[in-house]
Structure 1
């Protein structure tokens, strides 16, 4: 364990983001034994003008004018910094040299805000933890001079169009210059090890306490009352970037006696899909995080009908832990990241596999299997994941 240190955390998600965040969970775990400064991404010029009416942008503009504090205490040992500096929007630049010039300028301004906040807090000999902020992270080590620079890979961002343009060139450089690289799946360890020998698998944390139904008090929502027959359910964002609409349609059409329940916000492709014309498919919409356990409890089978592509192939599916924590039988798509779950889930590759595996799961699930699933999910805590991060950091501290 690392304790009594000053840790600066940067990433691509601000503290006031409305969805779950690995980076926030890790920062909160760090703060149990260290002082932590969580730094929001700086506001860029295009976002300022395009989203200037949004509440979160208005807040940042007030902070930039000095009308609100830029440094806010979240809890004991944990502070959140809203950088005052406006950076330039540069992703449209094609020329690598020109891009790098402006990126370095942006990073210098960003670093000045961070150093000013760190000075106010009395931070010294800092550890820098970077959650996937590859562009600003390229020069930040030089400007902040941390004792240890840790880069965290949890998503294949360089295959996402926005990040791909410059990320395929820049992220390997960031990985190479980091003192240590931590990853939440073996797929990413294989990737980062090509550029940095100090690459470690640290697993994934999950707050499974909110999915604990040991005393049986979680209630199934009223929406399920009118549904007769087995419920095959999914919780999460409904986006064709990550989910296979054809697979879901195939299951619904092959087994009209099954009910497909989808809980989460839809992208345009899902909204326009033929799934809405199928009588055994139910869209329950987006639900608050603290209600998701109730919806999962209403499932007979939980699925993760993931499309396998460059973006998803290495992803650690945190929802699998949530499903297992409630003792639900899980049918999911086979990927390298899913291999760690193979003894507790049913893994398939084809549409036909899914139908067969759902049938199998319905017929053979038991209280014993549910208990094994719950016990396994309970090992995937943020405490365990962060302890693995600490071990990786300490290996670098010993070498310095």
Structure 2
């Protein structure tokens, strides 16, 4: 029987744990949005040997806490129309193997165990047929089309994972092959859509959704004490501080060339970020991590918001959700120019280098704005999950309608 718009059931696989609350997640937001209309099963990232024994990652402890909260159940209805499956299987950790038939054999064994749990959950929920949405996982997801047999298999390409060594080791071979065999590749980035189209003509851009509920200019009526004591002008960034995605040299150049500016950085700094070097400069202040709900008052207290993104294979095609969050606060924004960022060219100062980046900040501080605060806010609010998920569902139903009907 052919799946139709009236009976869509979604199974979502992802390497992002459902229970992680401190980091934003495209796929969790998409799952919640889809569940407003359709039934959705989110398959939690299964434990593997490495995660099960590692105390440093904290994944096992977080999963056990999540299970304990739900009385040890592995299939949990977390909201209306939305279930989370916590796989019981502990998968093998095989990424260290050479990229050959031996790895493929073990990887398929992992996929077989995961697929069996998915099929069992679908049967328990009494769903007749499913659309399988794979969140950018070219490894565990490689064999799921054959093993789960969904009505439609969609690969959601939201980041260039192949720039990261863990994924590159086997993904450099497997991701193109996976994109060739799925029914649809959907991406939040024009750049990544064009990359996917080399392997699958059914590659579509569905835009990016954002939950901007918290990001309101009025949230800055009272500045938090730790930022209120920093003099203006404040040039700010809020997000993960990692050398993989941020340009420490750019941040240093801004601070050194304009000692009258205060650069304020909010977020956790990992070992790859030059925190010690930057912290030595008198006009750079690290305010540490903040809860997501506490971020908007800090953004409101900034004079200009920046995304000092380093341009590399990881970042060149990604969609930075923080730009929409910044714009929703009505603030002037400066970022580096990329194909994806061209979407924002009427509202964001787009720089081609360090000199242009600093000039963009100067122009914003002197009121040479590209658009009004009201226009920036309105533009950000065009990027809703309803629009992005709506575009995805539209593409899915087109392809389901084109399938030959069976009885």
TM-score by length of 2: 0.93
Give the one of 164, 167, 174 matched to 2:171. 167
In structure 2, the partner of 1:88 is 92
Contact in 1 for aligned 2:11/2:43 (Cα 8 Å):
yes
Distance (whole Å) between structure 2 residues aligned to residue 338 and residue 53 of structure 1: 33
Matches within 5 A, 1:266-345: 266-270=269-273, 272-345=275-348
- 1:368 is displaced (CA, Å) by 6.2
After alignment, is 3-12 or 116-125 more displaced?
A: 3-12
Give the one of 77, 81, 101 matched to 1:97. 101
The 1:310/1:366 distance shift into structure 2, 3 A limit, reads closer
Q: Within the alignment, does 1:184 sit opposite 2:200 as a pair?
A: no
Give the one of 347, 352, 370 matched to 1:349. 352
Contact in 2 for aligned 1:233/1:296 (Cα 8 Å):
yes
In structure 2, the partner of 1:193 is 197
Superposed CA offset, 1:88-142 (max 9, x none): 0000001410000001110000011111111111112111111011112111011
The 1:349/1:104 distance shift into structure 2, 3 A limit, reads same
Distance (whole Å) between structure 1 residues aligned to residue 45 and residue 397 of structure 2: 27
The 1:220/1:61 distance shift into structure 2, 3 A limit, reads closer
Give the one of 262, 267, 290 matched to 1:264. 267
- CA RMSD across the alignment: 2.1
SS of 2:140's equivalent in the other structure is: helix
SS of 1:270's equivalent in the other structure is: coil
Contact in 2 for aligned 1:63/1:84 (Cα 8 Å):
no
After alignment, is 293-302 or 357-366 more displaced?
A: 357-366
The 1:224/1:217 distance shift into structure 2, 3 A limit, reads closer
The 1:52/1:160 distance shift into structure 2, 3 A limit, reads closer
In structure 2, the partner of 1:206 is 210
Give the one of 200, 220, 227 matched to 1:224. 227
In structure 1, the partner of 2:128 is 124
Distance (whole Å) between structure 2 residues aligned to residue 361 and residue 61 of structure 1: 46
SS of 2:366's equivalent in the other structure is: helix
The 1:63/1:15 distance shift into structure 2, 3 A limit, reads closer
SS of 2:334's equivalent in the other structure is: strand
- 1:364 is displaced (CA, Å) by 2.0
In structure 2, the partner of 1:110 is 114
Contact in 2 for aligned 1:2/1:33 (Cα 8 Å):
no
In structure 1, the partner of 2:402 is 399
- 1:52 is displaced (CA, Å) by 8.7
Contact in 2 for aligned 1:231/1:300 (Cα 8 Å):
yes
Distance (whole Å) between structure 2 residues aligned to residue 53 and residue 251 of structure 1: 34
Distance (whole Å) between structure 2 residues aligned to residue 186 and residue 207 of structure 1: 21
Distance (whole Å) between structure 2 residues aligned to residue 364 and residue 25 of structure 1: 35
Contact in 2 for aligned 1:35/1:78 (Cα 8 Å):
yes
SS of 1:284's equivalent in the other structure is: strand
Matches within 5 A, 1:227-266: 227-266=230-269
After alignment, is 175-184 or 52-61 more displaced?
A: 52-61
Distance (whole Å) between structure 2 residues aligned to residue 62 and residue 134 of structure 1: 26
In structure 2, the partner of 1:32 is 36
Distance (whole Å) between structure 1 residues aligned to residue 66 and residue 193 of structure 2: 41
Unaligned runs of at least 5 residues, structure 1:
none
TM-score by length of 1: 0.95
- 1:216 is displaced (CA, Å) by 5.6
Distance (whole Å) between structure 2 residues aligned to residue 327 and residue 53 of structure 1: 37
Q: Within the alignment, does 1:370 sit opposite 2:380 as a pair?
A: no
Distance (whole Å) between structure 1 residues aligned to residue 181 and residue 86 of structure 2: 26
Distance (whole Å) between structure 2 residues aligned to residue 175 and residue 274 of structure 1: 42
Distance (whole Å) between structure 1 residues aligned to residue 161 and residue 85 of structure 2: 24
Distance (whole Å) between structure 1 residues aligned to residue 202 and residue 381 of structure 2: 28
Contact in 1 for aligned 2:219/2:300 (Cα 8 Å):
no
The 1:391/1:287 distance shift into structure 2, 3 A limit, reads same
